Structures are given as C-alpha cells and as structure tokens.
Structure 1
Amino acid sequence: MMTFVLGGGCFWCLDALYQKTRGVTDVISGYTGGHTPDPDYDAVCTGTTGHAEVVAVTFDESIIPAEVILDMFFVSHDPTTLNRQGYDVGTQYRSSMFYQDTEQKELFERSVERNQESWSAPIVTEVSRLPRFHLAEEWHNNFYAKHPEQGYCQVIINPKLAKARKYYAQWLIE
C-alpha cells in the first residue's frame, strides 16, 4: 500500500474522485502545509493558517499504478491557477503534493513534468515535504456520497467526475 497526500482545491472533489477509484482503500480529508498547530475548518477557511485542504489517498499498487493516481489528480483540477480552483480562492485551495520520502518526491516531480504537456499554462502545483497531517472534521470524509444532491456536488464535483470518467473510466467504479 502507498499513500499520497494531495491538494487540488476543495478536498471534497478529490475525495469524491478517489472514493470511486479501483484499488483505493482509503481517502481521508485533512489539512497540511501550514503554521497553525491544530487547524480546523473554520480557521483554514480564513486563509490565514497556511494550510491546504488535502486528501490522504491510500491505494494498492498491484491494482492501480501510482502514475494513474497522479494523472487523475492533474485531470481533476486546474494545476495552473495559483491559490484558486474555480470559485474557491485562497492558499487553502492551492494545488499541492506533499511527499513523504525521496521516492515520492521524484514520482511527484515526474508527474508534474509528464502532465505539463496537457496544459498550455505552466503547472504551479506545490511539491513539498509533508509536515504534520491534521485530520479534517469527520463530516468532510465521503461528503459527495453522503450529499450528492447538494449544490456544490452538482455544480462543481459532478463535472470533475465526468471529466475523470472520460479519461479514466477503466479505473473508476460506478
């Protein structure tokens, strides 16, 4: 098993995608990359804690390659916008990848290079060492599955899932 900590805007979007991905065994929403010792959602939303909304994605490499998990990440958000994903603006929504060791750092850097050819603007995804991972409040986990009728899910998450399905249907569970 391998775990990647990834931020692509609101963690609900990545959670929704990876919850539907073959070989993924766990997706946990959280916060990392900031300077506040014990962040919570309200504090992170102010944009003053330095933390990014992220998910820790644990997957079985014998079922899904690490490169596919990372390529799905780059399809599911716009990695060329600094501190913004659609209407979500602030450092907490930055595109980010937090590595746990040198192997992950190299894997992340190669994925940025590989995916750059799909974007006309430069990818600005932060690649940093993983500091402490803070669990988000439980209600953030599996948000899309619990609230598919919610407006954010309908307007923001559904189009992202449709885009991922276009490129990665063979890896998604319906």
Structure 2
Amino acid sequence: MQSFVLGGGCFWCIDAVYRNFQGIQESTCGYTGGHTENPDYRSVCSGTTGHVEVDRVVFDESVIPAETVLDIFFTSHDPTSWDRQGADVGSQYRSALYYENEEQKQLFEAAKERAEKLWGKEIVTVIEPLEKFWEAEDYHQNYYANNPFAGYCQAIINPKISKARQNYSEYLRG
C-alpha cells in the first residue's frame, strides 16, 4: 500500500472523487502545510494557520497505478488556479502535493509535467515535503456520501466526480 497527501481545493471534493475507484483503500480528510499545532476547520478556514485542506489517499498499486491516482488528482480540480477552486478562495484551497520520500517527490513532479501538457498552461500546484498530517473532524469524513443532496455536493462535487469517472472508467468500482 502507498499513500499520497493531496490538496486540490475543498477536501470533500477530493475525498468524494477517490472513493469511486478500485484500489483506493482509504480516503481521509485532513490538514497539513501550516504552522499551528492541532488545526481545526474553523482555524484553517480563517486563513491564518497556513494549513491546506488535504486528502490522504491510501491505495493498492497492484489495482490502480500511482500515476493514475495522480492523474485523477490533476483531472478533478483546476491546478492552474492559485489559492482558489471555484467559489472556494484562500490559501487553504491551494493545489498541493505533499511527499513522504524522494520517490514520491519524483512521481509528483512527473505528474505535474503530464498535467501541464493536458491543461496547456502553467500548473501552480506546489510540491512540498509532508511534515504532519492532521485528521479533520469526523463530520468531514466521507462528507459527500453522508450529504449527497446538499447544495455544495450537487453543484460542485457532482461535476468533479462525473469528469473523473468519465476519464478513468476502467478503474471504477463495480
């Protein structure tokens, strides 16, 4: 098993997208990249902690390749937008990849290069070492499945899920 810590805007979106694919063993919303201990949603949303909303995705590479996991990431959000995803604005929504070792860093850099070709413009996704992952509050975990009819889920998350499902249909859960 391998895990990636990915920031692509609202963590509810990233979490909801990855839960559709075979080989994804765990998806956990959390925070990283900041300068405060024990961040919570309110403090992260204030923009004063430096933390990013992220998702830790644990996957089985014998089922879904690491490159595909990263390509799904770059497909399911706008990596050309600095500190913003749609109406979600602030540094906590920046596009970011947090690596645990040199191998992951190289995978992330290669995925970013692939994404630049796909998007046809500069990718602003930052690639930084993972210092500490703080798990988000329980009500953020699997938010989409627990609130499928919420306006945010319908308007923002559903299109991201549809796009990822369409582009990576061979990896969809049965």
TM-score range, shorter chain: over 0.9
1:2-81 map, 5 Å: 2-81=2-81
Aligned 1:1-174 pairs, distance under 5 A = 1-173=1-173
Q: Hey, what's the Cα distance between the residues in 1 that align with 2:61 and 2:19?
A: 16
What's the CA shift for 1:39? 0.5
Write the deviation string for residues 25-51 of structure 1: whole angstroms up to 9, x where unpaired.
Answer: 000110000001111000000111000
Amino acid across the alignment from 1:135: E
1:105-144 Cα offsets, whole Å, 9 max, x none, are: 0000000001111113200001000011111001111000
Q: Which amino acid aligns with 1:2?
A: Q
Which digits, 9 at most, give the CA deviation of each residue in 1:59-103, with x for residues without a partner? Answer: 000000000000000000000000000000000000000000000
> How far apart are the structure 2 equivalents of 1:87 and 1:160?
14
Q: TM-score, normalised by structure 1?
A: 0.98
CA distance in 2, matches of 1:13, 1:159: 10
Deviation of 1:21 (Å): 1.0
Normalised to the residue count of structure 2, the TM-score between the two structures is: 0.98
Q: Structure 1 segments of 4 or more deviating over 6 A?
A: none
Offset of 1:171 from its aligned partner? 1.1
Rounded Cα–Cα distance in structure 2 between residues aligned with 1:101 and 1:117? 25
Q: Aligned partners of 2:61, 2:2: CA distance in 1, in Å?
A: 7
Q: What CA distance in whole angstroms lies between the structure 2 residues aligned with 1:25 and 1:164?
A: 18
- Specify the code of the residue in structure 1 equivalent to 2:82: L
* Equivalent-residue separation in structure 1 for 2:163 and 2:25 (angstroms): 22
Aligned residues: 174
User: Residue 118 of structure 2 aligns to a residue in which SS?
Assistant: coil
Q: Which amino acid aligns with 2:47?
A: G
Distance in 1 (alpha carbons) for counterparts of 2:11 and 2:172: 18
| Runs of 5+ consecutive residues of structure 1 not aligned to the other structure | none
Identity of aligned residues (%): 56
